[in-house]
Structure 1
Amino acid sequence: MSQKGEILIVGLGYVGHALARALEEADVPWIGLRRQPEADPRIRCVDLDGAGVDLSGLDTRRIVYLAPPPKDSEGDPRLRKVLEALEGQRPERFVYASTTGVYGNQDGAVVDETAPLHATTARALRRLDAEQALVAAAARWGTRWAVLRLPGIYGPGRLREEQIRAGLQVPCPEICPPGNRIHRDDIVDVILRLLEEDAPTGFFNLADNEHMSSTDFARAVADRIGVALPSCIPDLEAYYAAHPGMASFLREQRRIDSSRIRKALNWSPRYDHALAGIEASLRGERSGQTQA
């Protein structure tokens, strides 16, 4: 990666910390913004829900935005405050992590970046607002941008092991729809490439090619940690009644196609198959790579 100043990471959560580690290993300087204070002097404590955001003194030429919208908002006021603060120090490159939820329910169809956007859930509508705000600002500034539409993120510490050990209930395999996910380290790999001088601009899906259902994924994790799951639930509506938080995820059926980013970057995921990603995640947990 080119040594063109610091990378500004907005949102140092699960992916943000992994990205910071990767930049450090590549000897690329970075600065992070996070709500919670940390001892690392490279991390600035910033409240994106405050009256305004002060980015003075920061290198804003290359930005990776990983902060989620507020859960109770319409749109994404956090991102909009950051964009407002950037009016006087416009970035050259801006990478934003969005969600495949903006596609909504596609009835199990294969979905690429040309698919219609049928976002209906509040969380997907907030992300769609953020995408639109960024693209409008980037067009006004002449900023090169990339929006990564991400499905379920997994990796070390993100395998639902606690729930599995506690007896996680899952729908029976024959009724559980296909799923979409991406390993944390593959997200980091792509972000690093998108920060390069010649990186492409646009919307990009990022997902593995397996489309493993949530049931099969949970069973694969359980098998590898030596846990037997309880009997599966043979009816989806009964499952939704018992686990209402999962209804919106499983009712929105789609198979994410990430061919565009693979071709644009001449890149393939390290973990295009979930079993390899699960095993790598378990090894990562043992080596302590689970920081949120």
Structure 2
Amino acid sequence: MNLFVFGLGYTAQQFIALYRHRFTEIGGTVRSAEKAQALASTGIKAYHFDGSDFDPGIVDRLSQADALLVSVPPKGETDPVLEQFSKVIASAPRLRWVGYLSTVGVYGNADGAWVDETTPPNPATLRSRQRIAAERQWLAIGENAPFSVQIFRLAGIYGPGRNALLKIVDGTAQRIVKPGQVFNRIHTEDVAQVLMASVAHPNRNAIYNVTDDEPGPPQDVIAYAAQLLGREPPPEVPFDQADQSPMARSFYEDNKRVRNERIKKELGIALRHPTYRDGLRALINSGEGR
């Protein structure tokens, strides 16, 4: 089985690291020559694609792909992959599975209530509205295609090299408190196993929430990471006094608890890291933050 990935970023590379033995050939796109060279040393053939300009070799690789993972964000109101390659993808002779990585941000704010895949999207930010538009474009192309399109709405991603332990160590962690605020999270190993289970059992135009079992306050995650490291946690900072980028602040506009029963029932998933505590313990046991 051949895999092609639009957007060989953090999440896609974690998926490949765990499941590359399930694929005969793996290729994908990057934005820089330096990253392409680095991936070549791992056996991944990378092609340039910056949303508009692209290596023509991508067309040939798509014709040989059995599975296609899309991890490229929208560009304005359009999906750059479909804008450039929709006809090639639609006619790819071997393609059987397409996975599009989206975000639970499309649900918008639920004032802390539970949402699931049947909840109508209500995006609060332009970024999330663009995600919904891209989801609909992918679902539309999959309606009558010979391949199956799946949408994966991801919670906040963490894993090796990207987690609260490292933020404690490098001094960038903030224990920001906004009363009543909760977030779901998901470890990259669980994202990867959901994707692989879906590749094995495609479900046409399915939408899956990919989240952990326990949404919780962000300040609790930082405090627990500090506890694991044997350090004092940073002081609590009220949300309205926190030093955050506009994008980081925008995440706090959404407050919801996201259900994940569908990945368990339809894909047979048993989460390896059902809570942030499980995930952080596994990371520190692997040497992260030490």
1:145-195 deviation per Cα after TM superposition (whole angstroms, max 9, x unaligned): 2111001001111114454342533234x7251111111000100111111
1:65-85 deviation per Cα after TM superposition (whole angstroms, max 9, x unaligned): 122334xx3332234323243
1:61 equivalent in structure 2: 66
- From 185, 188, 198, give the equivalent of 1:184: 188
2:89 equivalent in structure 1: 86
Aligned-pair distance for 1:275? 0.9
Tell me the TM-score normalised to structure 2 length.
0.86
The amino acid of 2:153's aligned partner reads R
The answer as to whether partners of 1:75 and 1:125 remain within 8 angstroms in 2 is: no
1:37 equivalent in structure 2: 36
- Paired residues, number: 277
1:5-44 deviation per Cα after TM superposition (whole angstroms, max 9, x unaligned): 3122222211211222222344x22322122313244322
The answer as to whether partners of 1:20 and 1:30 remain within 8 angstroms in 2 is: no
- From 41, 45, 48, give the equivalent of 1:46: 48
2:26 is equivalent to residue 21 of structure 1: no
Identity across matched positions, percent: 26
Map 1:200-219; keep pairs closer than 5 Å. Answer: 200-201=203-204, 202-219=206-223
Aligned-pair distance for 1:144? 1.1
2:279 is equivalent to residue 265 of structure 1: no
Aligned-pair distance for 1:284? 4.0
| Cα distance in 2 between the residues matched to 1:162 and 1:193 | 30
Over 3 Å counting, the alpha-carbon distance change for 1:177 and 1:42 in structure 2 is same
| Cα distance in 2 between the residues matched to 1:286 and 1:244 | 29
The answer as to whether partners of 1:103 and 1:117 remain within 8 angstroms in 2 is: yes
1:237 equivalent in structure 2: 240
| Cα distance in 2 between the residues matched to 1:7 and 1:95 | 11
The amino acid of 2:49's aligned partner reads D
Stretches of structure 2 lacking an aligned partner (at least 5 in a row): none
1:192-241 deviation per Cα after TM superposition (whole angstroms, max 9, x unaligned): 11111x433311111111112211111111221233233212x43333x6
The amino acid of 2:235's aligned partner reads S
| Cα distance in 2 between the residues matched to 1:207 and 1:79 | 26
The answer as to whether partners of 1:80 and 1:130 remain within 8 angstroms in 2 is: no
The answer as to whether partners of 1:157 and 1:285 remain within 8 angstroms in 2 is: no
| Cα distance in 1 between the residues matched to 2:130 and 2:287 | 32
Stretches of structure 1 lacking an aligned partner (at least 5 in a row): 288-292
Tell me the TM-score normalised to structure 1 length.
0.85
> Secondary structure of 2:49's partner?
coil
Over 3 Å counting, the alpha-carbon distance change for 1:227 and 1:105 in structure 2 is same
Over 3 Å counting, the alpha-carbon distance change for 1:85 and 1:170 in structure 2 is same
Aligned-pair distance for 1:92? 1.9
The answer as to whether partners of 2:111 and 2:255 remain within 8 angstroms in 1 is: yes
The amino acid of 1:232's aligned partner reads E
Structure 1 stretch 95-104 or stretch 116-125: which is displaced more? 116-125
| Cα distance in 2 between the residues matched to 1:262 and 1:152 | 19
1:216-275 deviation per Cα after TM superposition (whole angstroms, max 9, x unaligned): 111111221233233212x43333x66644322122101000111110012211110211
2:225 is equivalent to residue 221 of structure 1: yes
